[in-house]
């Protein structure tokens, strides 16, 4: 019963963060918004690391944290927040659902145990076709900015997939809280630097009550609480079951966008989304060994299909 509650809670959290990103973007510019989120999240997770007395990175592990942090939190979230200014929250969730597809393709040269096969290639092909269907709609009726916004979100999915593969290949010994805190810190530095140049001082931004609520929700619930719940879950259920989150959260995000934000969905978006989710299902739904405490901190790229949003 407890596992089911945590699973459903995670689906609700990660399904709702897209809506709070969209709402926060009404008042805050994308790079500053993302940077503020990860500044707070880094501070909180650093306290978790200290409380657990977890082993800190050594030697080249610091370089790995910097590289994957910039990819997963700097580039990915910068592109995601910028892109969601121009497309619906539900569409952004569907496009970022391609993370396990790109992760599977990028894993081939890095991870001997994650080689491509016919099933994975079929899933990748479906994912690409689904993105193409959505792009054709954006190009035909939504305008160039919607197309660029969609492309930015997909590019972010590629970057975070690459980071996931590097973590799987090289960071098996790092504690999960240390890994996340370090990556968020490096991502924050990249986002804050770009925000200062492109968006100006954060003191001059519109810190409305809505913006503050969205920031706190994304930080406390979408990053910190979801992180703790996810790693509790992977220690208590099969990895395959945690992968189902990647299929449920985009659907929850689309539903929330339609109901709460009155977002419209065209038939091409629905069709493209269905094809993408079919491809993701082919990639992530496979037999997997039961997750151990060690495996929980070093999941395969497909298992990181639903990172904290």
Tokens (6 digits) for 77: 């979230």
More confident residue, 132 or 243: 132
pLDDT for 26 beyond 60 = yes
Environment class of 235 (CB within 10 Å of its CB; exposed 0-12, middle 13-18, buried 19+): middle
CA distance 81 to 242: 25
Tokens 């992968």 belong to residue:
243
pLDDT band at 136 (very low <50, low <70, confident <90, very high): confident
- pLDDT band, very low/low/confident/very high, at 33 (cuts 50, 70, 90): very high
Alpha-carbon gap, residue 39 to 10, rounded angstroms? 22
**Averaged pLDDT, 188-194:** 97
Q: Is 236 exposed, middle or buried (0-12, 13-18, 19+ CB in 10 A)?
A: middle
Of 238 and 199, the one with more pLDDT? 199
Confidence category of residue 138, pLDDT binned at 50, 70, 90? low
Predicted confidence band at 281 (pLDDT cuts at 50, 70, 90)?
confident
In DSSP terms, 238 is beta-bridged to 290
Q: What's the pLDDT score for residue 191?
A: 97
Cβ within 8 Å of residue 61, ≥6 positions away: 171, 173, 174
At 76 the pLDDT is: 95
Rounded CA separation 143/89 (Å): 17
Query: How many angstroms separate the CA atoms of 122 and 239, rounded?
Result: 22
Do residues 152 and 6 make contact, with C-beta atoms less than 8 angstroms apart? Answer: no
Taking 50 as the threshold, does the pLDDT of residue 300 lie above it? no
pLDDT at position 270: 86
User: pLDDT averaged over the chain?
Assistant: 84
Query: How would residue 295 be classed by pLDDT, with cut points 50, 70 and 90?
Result: very low
Q: What is the pLDDT of residue 297?
A: 45
Read off the pLDDT band of 155 (50, 70, 90): very high
pLDDT tens digits for 65-107? 999 999 999 999 999 999 999 999 999 999 998 888 888 888 8
Check whether 290 has a pLDDT greater than 60.
Answer: no
Q: pLDDT confidence of 164, banded at 50, 70, 90? A: confident
- For the segment 221-280, what is each residue's pLDDT rounded down to a tens digit? 998 888 888 878 877 776 656 667 878 888 889 989 989 998 887 888 888 889 988 888
* Residue 45: pLDDT over 60: yes
Task: Identify the pLDDT of residue 2.
Answer: 83
For residue 205, give Cα distances in angstroms to 78, 81, 191, 192, 194: 17, 16, 15, 14, 15
Q: Report residue 298's pLDDT band, with 50, 70 and 90 as the boundaries.
A: very low
Number of Cβ within 10 Å of residue 119's Cβ equals 13
298 versus 189: the higher-pLDDT residue is 189
Average the pLDDT over each of 38-47, 171-180, 256-265, 274-283 and give the range with the smallest value.
Answer: 171-180
Rounded-to-integer distance, Cα 130 and Cα 133, Å: 5
How far is residue 205's CA from residue 8's CA, in Å, rounded to a whole number?
Answer: 35
Give the percent of the chain with pLDDT over 70: 87
CB 299 within 8 A of CB 234: yes
Percent of the chain with pLDDT over 90: 39
Rounded distance between C-alpha atoms, residue 119 and residue 151, angstroms: 26
**Pick from 9, 74, 23: nearest CA to 227:** 9
Q: How far apart are CA 295 and CA 259, in angstroms?
A: 38
Q: What is the mean pLDDT of residues 155-165?
A: 91
pLDDT score of 304 more than 50: no
């Amino acid at each position: 019963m407890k596992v089911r509650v945590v699973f459903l809670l995670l689906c609700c959290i990660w399904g709702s963060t897209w809506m709070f990103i969209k709402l926060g973007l009404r008042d805050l510019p994308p790079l500053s918004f993302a940077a503020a989120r990860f500044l707070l999240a880094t501070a909180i997770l650093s306290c978790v690391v200290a409380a657990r007395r977890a082993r800190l990175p050594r030697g080249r592990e610091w370089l790995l944290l910097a590289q994957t942090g910039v990819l997963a939190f700097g580039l990915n979230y910068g592109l995601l927040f910028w892109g969601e200014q121009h497309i619906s929250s539900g569409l952004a969730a569907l496009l970022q659902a391609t993370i396990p597809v790109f992760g599977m393709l990028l894993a081939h040269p890095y991870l001997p145990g994650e080689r491509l096969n016919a099933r994975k290639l079929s899933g990748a092909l479906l994912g690409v076709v689904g993105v193409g269907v959505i792009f054709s709609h954006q190009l035909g009726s939504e305008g160039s900015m919607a197309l660029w916004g969609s492309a930015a979100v997909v590019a972010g999915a590629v970057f975070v997939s690459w980071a996931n593969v590097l973590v799987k290949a090289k960071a098996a010994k790092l504690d999960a809280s240390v890994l996340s805190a370090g990556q968020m810190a490096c991502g924050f530095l990249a986002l804050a630097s770009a925000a200062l140049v492109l968006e100006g001082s954060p003191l001059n931004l519109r810190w409305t009550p809505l913006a503050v609520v969205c920031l706190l929700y994304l930080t406390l619930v979408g990053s910190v609480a979801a992180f703790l719940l996810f790693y509790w879950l992977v220690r208590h259920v099969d990895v395959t079951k945690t992968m189902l989150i990647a299929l449920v959260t985009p659907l929850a995000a689309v539903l929330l966008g339609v109901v709460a934000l009155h977002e419209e969905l065209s038939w091409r978006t629905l069709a493209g989304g269905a094809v993408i989710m079919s491809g993701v299902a082919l990639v992530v739904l496979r037999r997997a060994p039961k997750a151990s405490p060690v495996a929980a901190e070093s999941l395969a790229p497909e298992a990181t299909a639903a990172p904290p949003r």
